[in-house]
Amino acid sequence: MSTVAQAVGLFVVTNLDDLALLAVLVASGVSFARLVAGQYLAWAAIAVLAAGVVAVVPEDALRWLGLLPIVIGVKELLEREEEQAPLGTPSLAAIAFAGGIDDVGVLPPVFAAADTAVFVAVFAALIVPWCLLARWIATRPPVAAAIERLGRYAVPVALIAVGVAVLI
């Protein structure tokens, strides 16, 4: 199997959990540009960590990044009564980073055994199509109806769930 095919497979496997959250964010009105920008910022941070900086951070400490989406989710729940601006790029990047921190555990051995540049390039190239897929999912009538029924709770609950998953 080629390195590119391996990278595509690894991207899909490590980002399936992210797809539902991206769809909820799109359905809640987050602009596509902000969503993509947040994903790229998070991927850049994850790639740097996975490429070696993570060696100085104890593995057990990484899971505490799950607190980021929990805090953002709770903040969103508390502020949903008032009209507010949609999540900004830094918040979206923090959410994506915390949700993707498990990649830091998966990628270093891959980077050590394969062509790191190919994996980084393939992952970066797949961010926009992945966000487009999330947008497509979010606009399917049954999904859109479910998210609308959940109303103001959809994004905060999804964020809290991501945070809890990272913590445990």
d(Cα 142, Cα 138) in Å, to the nearest integer? Answer: 9
d(Cα 94, Cα 145) in Å, to the nearest integer? Answer: 27
Number of domains within the chain: 1
Provide the pLDDT confidence category of residue 6 given band limits of 50, 70 and 90.
Answer: confident
Quote the pLDDT of residue 35: 92
Tokens of 166: 């990272």
- Is-contact 131 22, C-beta < 8 A? yes
Higher per-residue pLDDT: 61 or 93: 93
Q: Output the CA torsion sign for 163, 164, 165, 166.
A: positive
99: containing domain: 3-167
Quote the pLDDT of residue 145: 82
pLDDT tens sequence across 142-157: 888 887 777 678 778 8
DSSP collapsed to 3 states, 33-95: HHHHHHHHHHHHHHHHHHCCHHHHCCHHHHHHHHHHHHHHHHHHHHHCCCCCCCCCHHHHHHH
Element (H, E) at 17: helix 3-27
Quote the pLDDT of residue 34: 92
- Write down the pTM of the prediction: 0.73
Three-state SS at 101: coil
CA 51, chain centre distance (Å): 19
Angle of helix 116-138 relative to helix 32-50, nearest 10 degrees, comes to 150
- pLDDT of residue 57 exceeding 90, the answer is no
Closest CA to 93 of 143, 52, 57, 127: 127
Per-residue pLDDT, averaged over 25-49, amounts to: 89
Would you give the end-to-end CA distance of the chain in angstroms? 33
